[in-house]
Amino acid sequence: MSVLALDRVTYTYPGAVTPALSDVTLDVAPGELIVLAGGSGSGKSTLLRAANGLVPHFHGGRFAGRAVVAGMDTREHGPGELAAAVGTLFQDPETQVVMGTVRAELSLPLENRGEAAPAVARGVEEVALALGIAPLLDRPTDELSGGELQRVALGAALVGRPQLIVLDEPTSQLDPVAGDELIAVLRRLGEDFDTAIVLAEHRLERCLPFADRAIAMRSGRVVCDGPPAEFLAWACAEAPELATPGARLLFGLGLSPAAGVKAARSALRSRGLSVGAQGPSPGEPRRPAGEAIRFDRVWHELDRGPAILRGVSLSLGAGERVALMGRNGAGKSTLLRHAAGLLRPTRGKVQSAGRVALLLQNPTDYLIHDRVEQEASVGALATVGLGDPALRGRHPRDLSGGEKQRLALAIVLDGAAGESQEAVVVCLDEPTRGMDRRRKDELAALLCELDGAVLVATHDPEFAAAFAQRVILLADGAVIADGTPSEVLAGGTYFATETARILGGVGGALRPEEGIALLTAGSEVPA
Amino acid sequence: MSYRRRASPLHAARAAVGCAYCLSLLVAALVLSAPVALGAVLAAIAGAAVGAKVGREVRRAALFAIPLGLAVMAINALVVRDGLTVIMRLGDLPVFGQTDITLEATVSGAVLGARAVALILCGALYTAAVDPDQVLGLFRRFSFHSALTATLATRMVPVLSRDARRLAEAQRCRPGPPPSRARLVRAATAGVLDRALDVAAALEVRGYGAARRAPRGGAPPWSRHDLAFSASAVAIAVLAVGGRVAGLLPFSSDPALHAPVRAGGLAVAAGLLVCALLPFADRRGIGR
């Protein structure tokens, strides 16, 4: 018997003309881990919301077809009743944690079900141990980091032992290490408790190796449903934006795409395409003409707290594009705030050759006007690709996520009124959160076109490889690596692209195209 | 909003007991008027704050409460015409008219001010040392949905203040003149509505819509700290009310000041202090 069965489900949001889900039919068996792929607006989130009953009970709209979750028809049972069978984890942990302490947060779903105090205590204890959050139980939720909050939210989704868990981009705010840990926990849940998992993600390379099935969606329809290898073969042929870097590498070499580093290496070896163990070749260091910004032994020490930055010294050349990477809490955002003058160093100094523009994590915070054209000048809008007059008349909050991001970038790039003061450094803090690959590629292209130096804090090695000329790795407030993308991203495990991991860092190849060129060059390929 | 679980006997006590303890100090501040007794209550609150390791939070509240108490005293001295002992003649003042400051009005104002300070500090002690989630859990027995709504309102305060900080930071990143306050308020309001929708959706999928009342029973056993603070709360209330009823702490300020310090009164004040602080002496099993 399936845990989730959708039978010809079609759903249209209130006020919308086109349906968000069109004639969707699928079954999810107990213990299955299913990855839901698709671009922004393809219907992934709506499908998850149809599974937990928010569609149609919370959002309203027109619903046709039948969705049955653990034997309950979602038309007859609301999200409150379905919560006993379905656990849900959304993208933003901040808005799904509602209680003051972790213990209270984990207790809430069980208390809602009317469980007695001993059963609540036991459930909380078990889920805390399973997720490794027992030390957090008495911590206030507003003190937790993003990764910790996401784990707590996952705990709240799991505490009632649901048969099905639906997750909407749960790793988008996590660093690679925390993201991998979360995926591993999900895999274990399926194996240990037979919990079915439906996971919507953009960074497919992270979760496809652990998946039983992958479902691709486009315009609200299921366009592919099969095992990961089958899905990747389809993606390489039909939807390249959904193909993982490893799949693109294999496909480019004429091999059948495989999910995961291990399978890809095996495929390469089977064709005699394995490369020898060789460290990354150092790239040619770029010598920028002038200096755009300099951090001189910058410390940021919290009053009665730890030091967030510990004597950071570095400089960016004019027009240089730099990716700043590191775990959550490594000090990336703090460094960007120092660059823009939002914070002052407790020791050391920051000197820039002119204005520093900073785009923080949430672009919506920048939007305060009623029309797009009021937010930034025509020139700045054109620079970020929002020059369309029809777009300029729209309300900023009605724009898509990617358009909001670009509008916020236009706002910070725009010179002060009447001064046309161009930014010499543009800093962006995690600009790719929740972005699909097409939008990431567009952003990378846009950053490459900017005149000023670019400093981007990101967790996404693929994005860093796409735009950066230099990568700086921070750990515990100090610079631990600073070099060309090939030097920094080819040799690591977590902060490495999938291509680099498959090739073991050989030749410093980071992107599939570079890997294909390396493997087909002949010299390093033992045929 | 400032609750943090700390290794202290008061934090180790259950919320109901913590509430009762703070309430007993509040009752003592309300029913006793003799300066020596109010002084003992204030000292008890300060000592409890130190014992519960929330001295900083209570001191922060005191920075607001003490000026307020002084203002109450000054206004009372200026406005109240009772009392026979004139200590200052201010003559004919606008608004106040002929104004004589009397010792009685000044002292009664000081008592009112000290009481206000005690009430505020008691509130600060409660906020910093009693788990709000547990308190709301107590109310859930009577009205589950109301209690959860109150929890959410409490939770939204730090979330929204973080949002406001973020919004302010983003506006600092905008080049050019800062936007008008009205425009910022509109933007913040739109953000709050988005937040509220997200939180409502999260609550729905946590089963809030189908919330049922938990069966009774199964409460954790009473710890030594539960017992000690319960006994302390009862003793403080009995001493305060008993002292007042027995007239051990007389105080009047009209027509003349009458606040004799007798052995019985001193015993009540000392008893209050000892009863309030004694539970903090036992520090076994306070960590978690």
Neighbours of A353 (CB within 10 A): 16
Helix (H) or strand (E) holding A487: helix A485-489
**Is residue A145's pLDDT more than 90?**
no
Q: Does A517 touch chain B (CB under 8 A)?
A: no
Give pLDDT, residue A521.
75
For B206, the closest of A92, A156, A365 (CB atoms) is A156
Q: What percent of chain A has pLDDT over 90?
A: 53
- Choose from A48, A54, A102, A108 for mutation: most chain B CBs within 10 A: A108
Residue of A nearest to B180 (CA): A368
Tell if the CB–CB gap between B214 and A117 is shorter than 8 Å: yes
Residues 6+ apart with CB under 8 A from B42: B114, B117, B118, B121
On the question of pLDDT at B1 being above 80, the answer is no
pLDDT at A243: 94
> Does B181 lie at the interface with A, CB-CB under 8 angstroms?
no
Of A99, A157, A365, the CB nearest to B151: A99
**What average pLDDT does this structure show over A38-53?**
92
Surface of A (324-363) touching B: CB under 8 A: 337, 340, 342, 355, 357-360, 362
Question: Chain B contact for A414, CB < 8 A?
Answer: yes
| Contacts with B155 from chain A: Cβ below 8 Å | 98-100, 141
Q: Does the distance separating the beta carbons of B207 and A80 come in below 8 Å?
A: yes
Q: Which A positions 62-121 lie with beta carbon below 8 A of chain B?
A: 78-81, 83-84, 86-88, 90, 92, 94-101, 103-104, 108-109, 111-118, 120
Give the orientation angle of helix B35-51 with respect to helix B15-31, to 10 degrees: 160
Contacts of B43 (CB under 8 A, 6+ apart): B273
Instruction: Give me the residue from B177, B187, B214 closest to A116, CB to CB.
Output: B214
Residue B276 reports pLDDT greater than 70 = yes
Helix (H, G, I), strand (E, B) or coil at A63: strand
Side-chain half-sphere CA neighbours of A436 within 13 A: 20
Please tell me if residue A368 touches chain B, with a CB cutoff of 8 Å. Answer: yes
Do A255 and A270 reside in the same domain of the chain? yes
For residue A177, give both structure tokens.
């290490």
Nearest to A397 among B175, B190, B206 (CB): B190
Specify the pLDDT at position B50. 96
Tell me what the pLDDT averaged over chain B comes to: 88
* Average pLDDT of the residues in A493-511: 87
Residue type, position B90, single letter: L
Asked if residue A347 is part of any domain, the answer here is yes
Residues A512, A443 within the same domain: no
Angle, in degrees to the nearest 10, between helices B35-51 and B263-277: 10
Do residues A342 and A314 both lie within one domain? yes
Residue with tokens 């076109």: A449
- What is the model's pLDDT at position B151? 65
Cβ–Cβ below 8 Å for A368 and B215: no
Same structural domain, A326 and A343:
yes
Residue A229 in tokens: 């290898």
Q: Is A465 domain-assigned?
A: yes
Phi and psi (nearest 5°) for A36?
-105, 120
A259 and A232 in a single domain? The answer is no
Per-residue confidence band for B158, with pLDDT thresholds at 50, 70 and 90: low
Residues of chain A with pLDDT > 70, as a percent, come to: 94
Min Cα–Cα distance to chain A from B143, Å: 13
Best of A59, A97, A365 to disrupt the B interface (most B CBs within 10 Å) is: A365
pLDDT tens digit sequence for A260-314: 899 999 999 888 876 654 545 555 555 566 899 999 999 999 887 789 999 999 9
Output the average pLDDT for chain A.
88
C-alpha to C-alpha distance for A259 and A486, rounded to whole angstroms: 23
3-state secondary structure B80-109: CCCCCCEEEEEEEECCCEEEEEEHHHHHHH
Q: Is A12 a residue whose pLDDT tops 80? A: yes
Task: Indicate if the alpha-carbon torsion angle A506, A511, A515, A517 is positive or negative.
Answer: negative
Classify residue B288 by burial, with Cβ atoms within 10 Å: 0-12, 13-18, 19+: exposed
C-alpha dist (Å) from residue A143 to A101, A262, A286, A342: 9, 38, 41, 22
**Interface contact A244, partner B, CB < 8 A:** no
**Pairwise CB contact (< 8 Å): B210 & A112:** yes
Pure H helices in chain B: 9-12, 15-31, 35-51, 55-79, 103-129, 132-140, 144-173, 181-205, 224-245, 263-277
Structure confidence by residue, pLDDT tens digits, B189-248:
888 888 788 888 888 888 876 766 666 666 778 999 999 999 999 999 999 999 999 999
**Which positions in chain A touch B202 (Cβ < 8 Å)?**
90, 95-98
Which of B137, B195, B214 shows the shortest C-beta gap to A95? Answer: B195
Give me the pLDDT at residue A271, please: 82
User: How far is residue B108's CA from residue B281's CA, in Å, rounded to a whole number?
Assistant: 35
Task: For residue A429, name the pLDDT band (cuts at 50, 70, 90).
Answer: very high
Q: What average pLDDT does the segment A112-131 reach?
A: 88
CATH code of the domain covering residue A65: 3.40.50.300
| Least confident stretch, A102-106, B11-15, B253-257 | B253-257
Greatest Cα pair distance in chain B: 71
For chain A, what is the domain count?
A: 3
Inter-chain residue contact A58 with B201, CB threshold 8 Å: yes
- Using CA atoms of A311, A317, A319, A321 in order, give the dihedral in degrees to the nearest 10: -40
Which tokens in the block code for residue A432? 């790719």
A360 → closest Cβ in B159, B173, B217: B173
B-chain CB neighbours of A411 within 8 Å are 174
B183 touches chain A (CB under 8 A): yes
A353-380 tens-digit pLDDT:
999 999 998 888 999 888 999 998 888 8
With contacts defined as CB-CB under 8 Å, which chain B residues touch A376?
none
A410 and A519 co-located in one domain:
no
d(CA B87, CA B106): 9
* Interface test with chain B among A86, A89, A94, A98, by most B beta carbons within 10 Å: A98
Q: Give the residue from B161, B173, B181 with the most A CB atoms within 10 Å of its CB, the best one to mutate.
A: B173
Cis peptide before A56 (omega within 30 of 0): yes
Domain that residue A23 falls in: 4-244
Q: Assess contact for A420 and A392: CB atoms under 8 A.
A: no
* pLDDT tens profile A454-477: 999 999 999 999 999 999 999 999
- What pLDDT score was predicted for residue A527? 36
Nearest-neighbour CA in chain B from A79: distance (Å): 6
CB contact under 8 A, B175 and A416: yes
Both structure tokens of A498: 């999938």
CA distance A75 to A66: 8
Query: CB of A286 within 8 A of CB of A496?
Result: no
Mean pLDDT is lowest, of A1-15, A97-111, B57-71, for A97-111
Q: Does residue A247 surpass a pLDDT of 80?
A: yes
- The CA distance from A345 to B191, in Å, is 31
Report how far residue A127's alpha carbon sits from residue A116's, in angstroms, rounded to the nearest whole number. Answer: 17
The H-or-E segment that residue A378 falls in is helix A378-383
Mean pLDDT of A207-226: 95
Structure confidence at residue A524 (pLDDT): 47
Q: How many residues does chain A have?
A: 527
pLDDT band (50, 70, 90) for residue A525: very low
Edge-to-edge strand list for the sheet holding A164-168: A86-89, A164-168, A196-200, A33-37, A213-218, A221-226
The pLDDT tens digits for B15-62 are 999 999 999 999 999 999 999 999 999 999 999 999 999 999 999 999
- Give pLDDT tens digits for A94-112: 778 878 789 989 998 898 8
- For the stretch B99-152, pLDDT in tens is 888 999 999 999 999 999 999 999 999 999 998 878 877 877 777 677 767 766
Domain co-membership, A336 together with A451: yes
**Nearby residues of A520 by Cβ (< 8 Å), 6 or more positions away:** A253
A360 and B202 within 8 Å at the Cβ level: the answer is no
State how far the Cα of B207 lies from the Cα of A112, in Å rounded to an integer.
6
Chain B contacts in chain A segment 219-238 (CB below 8 A): none
How far is CA B10 from each of CA A104, A174, B14, B108, B233, rounded to the nearest angstrom? 19, 37, 8, 33, 12
Above 50 in pLDDT, residue A56? Answer: yes
Closest by Cα among B225, B221, B234 to B282: B225
Query: Which residues, in sequence order, are bridge partners of residue A323?
Result: A456, A471
CA dihedral B278, B279, B281, B284 (to 10 degrees): 160
Mean pLDDT of A376-394: 86
Q: What is the largest CA-CA distance in chain A?
A: 69
Q: DSSP of A158-216, one letter per residue?
A: HTT--SEEEEESTTTTS-HHHHHHHHHHHHHHHHHH--EEEEE-S-HHHHGGG-SEEEE
Residue A415 pLDDT class (50, 70, 90 cuts): low
Domain ranges of chain B: 9-134+225-281, 143-209
Distance from C-alpha of B5 to C-alpha of A137, rounded to nearest angstrom: 10
Question: Are A46 and A71 contained in the same domain?
Answer: yes
What contacts B4, CB < 8 A, 6 or more positions away?
A140, B128
Give the bridge partners for B86, in sequence order: B102
pLDDT category of residue B4 using cuts at 50, 70 and 90: confident
CA A46 to chain CA centroid, Å, is 18
Half-sphere exposure of A509 (CA within 13 A, CB side): 25
Which among A166, A155, A178, A157 has a CA at the least distance from the CA of A45? Answer: A166
d(CA B158, CA A70): 37
**C-alpha–C-alpha distance, residues B166 and B197, integer Å:** 19
Structural domain contains residue A61? yes
Are residues A360 and B209, on separate chains, in Cβ contact within 8 Å?
no
